[in-house]
Chains A and B, each alone.
Chain A
Amino acid sequence: MTAAIHFDKVWKSYGHDVVLERIDLQVKAGEFVTVVGASGCGKTTFLRLLLGEEAPSRGHILMDGRPLPAEPGPDRGVVFQRYSVFPHMTVLGNVMAGLEFAAAPFTGRLLGRARRHARDEARDMLCAVGLEGALDKYPAELSGGMQQRLAIAQALVKRPRVLLLDEPFGALDPGIRKDMHALILDLWRRTGLTVFMITHDLKEGFYLGTRLLVFDKLRHDPHAPGAYGARITYDIPLGQTDRQVYEDIRTAIGVPESAPLSPQTPPHTEA
């Protein structure tokens, strides 16, 4: 069901600009990988590679030992920071869409019993994310947090093998964000999915993941800013981080000195 991901010496460059440099990475099935890094250091490119939206310039990405498909597909679900849901469909319609695409190749719509079945499945999924009260609303009527819940339900109803989250809670208020953390951890524990989550919030990265990746450019050539790409500079199993490492990362990715953050022990224990 859930998949392992292997990056084998992956490079990504656009023309002469190297974005990612020799990424080597083994992710086991069921890991919750959080990705942090300064802006413009290849986090989003990393996610686009995983989506299949971009192809590596060199190297290979393997999913369960097989090459990753070269375009986005239902085996990898995604939630973006914004625009993840369809504004012209109701909440229920948004979640049913994924089921309908698979079952009705030509019309993209289901009728009769098949439709009722899909509706029930979508409704169950929406209950799991706490949207049972908003089934017939349009996304524009939902708050930011509810829209993200919908986007998560929409992705999970397809039972993907990997879930990709691109700063999914970046635009939410701190209180709402906390609820969303609880939700995503709960869903992750229940489904056992492999999750990649990009975040610019270091604390969130430490709190949610079982493993933290830090992307950073180590080498700079001031005369050719595009000559070197970012690499994975830290790859830490979480739950056993000491304060010094945390502070090092914080300075490396340029998170401002705010209130003293202590790396929280993730609320889950590794199997």
Chain B
Amino acid sequence: MMSRGGPVRGTATGTGPDGERTRMKRLINRQPGRVGSVLLTALPFVGVLLAYGIASALRLAENPNDPLLPSLLTLGESFLRLATEENRRTGDILLWSDTAASLIRLGLGVGISALMGLIIGIVTGLIPVVHRTLSPFLVVLSMIPPLALLPILFIVFGVGELSKVMLIIFGVAPFLIRDLQQRVEQLPREQLIKAQTLGASTWQIILRVVLPQVMPRLLDATRLALGSAWLFLIAAEAIAATEGLGYRIFLVRRYLDMETILPYVVWITLLAFAFDLLLRVLTRRLFPWYRGGRAPA
């Protein structure tokens, strides 16, 4: 210990009166500034692009016809071509027709799953008789690996749209149902009692107490389920389809056509990111009371 008398100043080495370091805060307490935040966010993206650019340049220097790592410029041109040029045979623009086909499948699959999650989740979570009937069954159902069902789906529903949508439903509906059911079960007992003392029937409790409170959770859960929905979509398209984003990248794989595959992957990622953002904004706008939010002024 230093003497207590007189003003004590940190020394040049950054030690305080007790010999502890005082200049540097702990790592967990150091917050990046505004500019720092932007830079830190950009860092991994820039890093990956840079690494790709260097690797691509090295390979192309050796062999200008190397198909594996096309230059960023080539990829950009390729993306533009995919997004603007009409296919000579069909007259469709490849990227858009593939995107439309995939999004319809994804939208149907996820939409139907969300609806099932909402309805079945609420009744199994709220009504004891239904809970007894369905809850254990749903647990078992959700253990089936959906991809193992794919051959069955193709056999039963054919190789058309239905089997792909069904795969997505089998993949995400059990998760959504169980998540919503748990959410309903977590509603405080006091609220349900209170609603009854206000004269609400079971139907009115569902409509005015349970449904509005689980809707934001449904959007949250759907957001989490989108990742697996994409997985099942691309898997189904890879195996049997005539168009679609997943179909395309697996089709051109045979020709090592990285000029198509890489832009498609980036495009799929962008779409996934956009849906995630959309659902998050929607939750915040539609349900201001969720997470202790404030009423719109």
Q: Which residues of A contact B (CB under 8 A)?
A: 51, 53, 71-74, 76-78, 80, 82-88, 90, 97-98, 100-102, 105-109, 136-141, 151, 154-155, 158, 160
Proximity string of chain B (194-209) to chain A, C-beta cutoff 8 Å, 1 when within and 0 when not = 1111111101100111
Q: Which residues of B contact A (CB under 8 A)?
A: 188-191, 193-201, 203-204, 207-209, 212-213, 287-290, 292-295
* B295 touches which of A90, A155, A158, A160 (Cβ 8 Å): A90
Cβ contacts under 8 Å, A151 to chain B: 194
* A51 touches which of B193, B200, B212, B287 (Cβ 8 Å): B193
Cβ contacts under 8 Å, B199 to chain A: 73-74, 98, 101-102, 158
Cβ contacts under 8 Å, B293 to chain A: 138, 140
Q: How far is the CB of B284 from chain A (nearest CB, A)?
A: 14
A158 CA / B194 CA spacing, docked (Å)? 12
Pair B295/A73 contact, Cβ less than 8 Å: no
> Sorted from nearest, which 4 A-B pairs have the closest CB atoms?
A83-B188, A98-B198, A72-B196, A74-B199
Pair B194/A73 contact, Cβ less than 8 Å: no
Pair B198/A154 contact, Cβ less than 8 Å: yes
Query: Nearest CB to that of B204 among chain A residues?
Result: A108
Among A53, A86, A136: residue with most chain B CB under 10 A = A86
Q: How far is the CB of A216 from chain B (nearest CB, A)?
A: 26
* A138 touches which of B198, B208, B288 (Cβ 8 Å): B288
Cβ contacts under 8 Å, A141 to chain B: 294-295
Q: A88-B213, A108-B208, A138-B294 are in contact. Are A80 and B194 (CB under 8 A)?
A: yes
Pair A97/B191 contact, Cβ less than 8 Å: no
Cβ contacts under 8 Å, A80 to chain B: 190, 193-194
Pair B194/A137 contact, Cβ less than 8 Å: no
* B190 touches which of A73, A83, A138, A140 (Cβ 8 Å): A83
Pair B203/A138 contact, Cβ less than 8 Å: no
* B204 touches which of A82, A86, A105 (Cβ 8 Å): A105
Pair A77/B197 contact, Cβ less than 8 Å: yes
Question: Could you give 17 example pairs across A and B, Cβ below 8 Å?
Answer: A53-B193, A72-B193, A72-B196, A72-B197, A78-B197, A83-B190, A83-B191, A84-B191, A86-B209, A88-B213, A97-B195, A98-B198, A101-B208, A105-B201, A138-B294, A141-B295, A154-B198
Pair B197/A76 contact, Cβ less than 8 Å: yes
Query: Nearest CB to that of A155 among chain B residues?
Result: B197
Cβ contacts under 8 Å, B208 to chain A: 97, 100-101, 108-109
A158 CA / B193 CA spacing, docked (Å)? 14
Pair A88/B289 contact, Cβ less than 8 Å: yes
Given contacts A51-B193, A88-B213, 13 further A-B contacts (CB under 8 A): A53-B193, A74-B198, A77-B197, A84-B190, A86-B209, A90-B295, A97-B200, A101-B199, A102-B199, A108-B204, A108-B208, A136-B295, A140-B293
Cβ contacts under 8 Å, B196 to chain A: 71-73
Query: Nearest CB to that of B291 among chain A residues?
Result: A140
Cβ contacts under 8 Å, B203 to chain A: 105-106, 108
Pair A101/B204 contact, Cβ less than 8 Å: yes
A72 CA / B198 CA spacing, docked (Å)? 9
Cβ contacts under 8 Å, B191 to chain A: 83-84, 86
Query: Nearest CB to that of B292 among chain A residues?
Result: A140
* A84 touches which of B194, B200, B287, B292 (Cβ 8 Å): B194
A72 CA / B204 CA spacing, docked (Å)? 15
Pair A82/B190 contact, Cβ less than 8 Å: yes
Query: Nearest CB to that of B295 among chain A residues?
Result: A138
A100 CA / B208 CA spacing, docked (Å)? 10
A158 CA / B198 CA spacing, docked (Å)? 7
Among B189, B190, B295: residue with most chain A CB under 10 A = B190
